[in-house]
Amino acid sequence: MLDAKLIQPSESSWASPLMLVSKPDGSIRVTIDYRSLNERTQNDAHPLPFCEDFGKKEVVFLGHVISSGSDKSKCEALFQFKRPKRLLSFKVFWGSHNIIGSSLKTSKRSLLHCIG
């Protein structure tokens, strides 16, 4: 890849080794080892919001009015969802250990007006 000028040498302290690996069918898989980068990044554990947090005030979300006075039977499945008793984590692809927490934090910021 260096000879083909697809990549260039890097002096970045955030650089991660890239390797090309042959698959059993003869095609090429690009792999990147993010372990050293993961050791230097701070984990972003961000809890899922709880269903009870929604509906504390009236909001219009995707064309639906959500409020504490709404018909509870329409939201029954959401309110039956059990709260986890401990912190859990998703199994994710190698090297992407922070993606779930970061995505949840971004989603929460986007929906902040819904949870009061």
Residue 114 near residue 62 (C-beta atoms within 8 A): no
Q: Could you report how far apart the first and last alpha carbons of the chain are, in Å?
A: 52
Per-residue pLDDT at 26: 93
Per-residue pLDDT at 25: 96
Per-residue pLDDT at 64: 67
Q: Examine the pLDDT at 11 and tell me if it is beyond 80.
A: yes
Per-residue pLDDT at 35: 85
Indicate the pTM of the whole model. Answer: 0.36
Domains of the chain, by residue range, sit at: 1-41, 46-114
SS3 label, residue 18: strand
Q: Examine the pLDDT at 70 and tell me if it is beyond 90.
A: no
Closest listed residue to residue 44, CA positions, set 86, 84, 102, 1: 102
